[in-house]
Amino acid sequence: MAGEAERDAARGVTSSGTPLEVAYGPHDAPNGASAIGEPGAFPYTRGVQGTMYRGRLWTMRQYAGFSTARESNARYRYLLEQGQTGLSVAFDLPTQMGYDSDAPESEGEVGRVGVAIDSLADMEALFDGIPLDRVSTSMTINSTAPILLALYVAVAERQGVARSALSGTTQNDLLKEYIARGTYIYPPAASMRLITDLFAWCGTELPRWNTISISGYHMREAGATAAQELGFTFANAIAYVEAARAGGLEVDAIGPRLSFFFAAWTDVLEEVAKFRAARRIWATIMRDRFGAKSEKSLHCRFHVQTAGSALTAQSIDNNVVRAAYQALAAVLGGAQSLHVNGKDEALALPTEDSARLALRTQQLLAHESGVAGTVDPLGGSYAIEALTDRIEREALAIIAEVDRVGGAVAAIQTGLPQRAIQESAFNYQREIERGERVIVGVNRFVDEQVATPPIARIDPALEREQVRSLAEFKASRDTAALASALAAVDAAARGTENLMPPILAAVKAGATVGEISNTLRVVFGEHRESLVL
């Protein structure tokens, strides 16, 4: 076995299959050690701020949400008490897909993979006792993003918080849903309208809000390589900027509001290089392709989540180590915020203990490891610079390929990114099954006897409670005001006016997520995926 381990260690390839040299020197990094620039200066290879974590640590934003709003509120307050510095909301599938908890489509899914939010009452309960002017909130929501943001704004108003004080992010990235995740509702054209309407409205109403988090994470989780993660993410980002400009928005009005969301895998060197390449690619695209003048428009600011698909159900304690290395890669790569997965997330939602341990992993990195003490600590490494250059070249080639077929929407319709990611996923899994790629505890170094760990379970009674409370909420509404508000949403959808004001008015009138979504379904229709070979 020792010989096999030695041979495996000598394979010399990254997790994406990129060959590694035995050693690197100055000739391997032509754009590297002598030309990487300074932190906080174009092309931002070394970081978007000159002092990075010396000036301010990354936001520790643990993703959480389950069951009812009251249950999730208790978890948020617990995490904040433990030192978390930002909220990240996970919504259940019915909320993501625009169904109320009492819809037939929702049965068995209410509160399972996130919190169930049907109404303004639910959103108030979710943030009860949490001052929205003092925390930033990220909401992982896409098809129903305008509705959930409207609910958030309405809750803030009830708290007496000015819109100008709200900070956070709505994911609001539908193109990656068509590629890799599937929680879309409407056809692409309607989705792009909702996205750009949210851009425009936040531009005047929520000056501190990030209007989109353009996500490579889900593509990487579906099997994309590091270069594919960047290439397809930035191709989608280009499509969003083009759509916003077509709608009359200036690039420097929207550029500072764009943020990104990437995965961190266990291959530390490749991941650090990927994050550095991402900043360089985006800064160049915004400056040279779109003519952005504002420095903030050039900044690729990103949230990182450790790789959920790298977690194993076998020997889950190993996942603590995996997540720690992944978090280290994110910090060495210059992330602005970070979520570390719980060790038990290959089995279920994290328990309170594993969520606390994941947060402690971040805190240990920040306060004990020393890696936050200097900017870009691996910058100038021949290996890192060579990998950064290579990932940049490969990602730019993918963007060029997407451009050749007419852009991201056209590429999705032809199945280009879907096929590329599926092929990469197949190759990766085949290497695991052949034993060519070692997964500790799965195909090598297997623990024979491991106790079954305790896992979090959602009480089925909580779904019944959510349905009951929704019925009470619906019975309490002014039906005439509700009908009028939904009619205004319908009229706006059939016309060209921005949809955010009527959606906000509708949630204040008591309209639910499902009712607003169904109103839009009537106008826009629903997207049906076709088989792409």
What CATH number belongs to 50-311+328-339+451-533? 3.20.20.240
Q: Does 473 have pLDDT greater than 70?
A: yes
Which backbone phi and psi does 30 adopt, to 5 degrees? -60, -30
Q: What is the pLDDT of residue 23?
A: 63
Place of tokens 């990998």: 387
Q: Does 7 have pLDDT greater than 60?
A: no
Domain extents in the chain: 50-311+328-339+451-533
Q: What is the pLDDT of residue 36?
A: 80
Q: Does 477 have pLDDT greater than 90?
A: yes
Write the pLDDT tens digit of every residue in 396-414: 999 999 999 999 999 999 9
Percent of the chain with pLDDT over 70: 95
Give the residue-averaged pLDDT of 241-270: 96
Band of pLDDT at residue 2, cut at 50, 70 and 90 = very low
Q: What is the pLDDT of residue 196?
A: 95
Q: What is the pLDDT of residue 321?
A: 98
User: What average pLDDT does the structure give for the chain?
Assistant: 93
Indicate yes or no: pTM above 0.85.
Answer: yes
CA-angle at 462, arms to 458 and 468, nearest 5°: 160
Q: Are 124 and 73 in contact (CB under 8 A)?
A: no
Give the residue-averaged pLDDT of 389-399: 97
Q: Are 155 and 165 in contact (CB under 8 A)?
A: no
Give the residue-averaged pLDDT of 89-95: 96
Closest by CA position to 146, among listed 186, 195, 190, 188: 195
Give the residue-averaged pLDDT of 183-187: 96
Q: What is the pLDDT of residue 24?
A: 64
| CA dihedral of 229, 235, 241, 242, whole degrees rounded to 10 | -170
Identify the bridge partners of residue 389 per DSSP, sorted by sequence position.
none
Q: Are 112 and 458 in contact (CB under 8 A)?
A: yes
Q: Does 10 have pLDDT greater than 50?
A: no
Q: How far is CA 192 from CA 172, 176, 239, 243, 380, in A?
A: 10, 12, 9, 7, 40
Give the residue-averaged pLDDT of 479-501: 98
Write the pLDDT tens digit of every residue in 321-343: 999 999 999 999 999 999 999 99
Q: What is the pLDDT of residue 32?
A: 47
Give the residue-averaged pLDDT of 129-133: 95
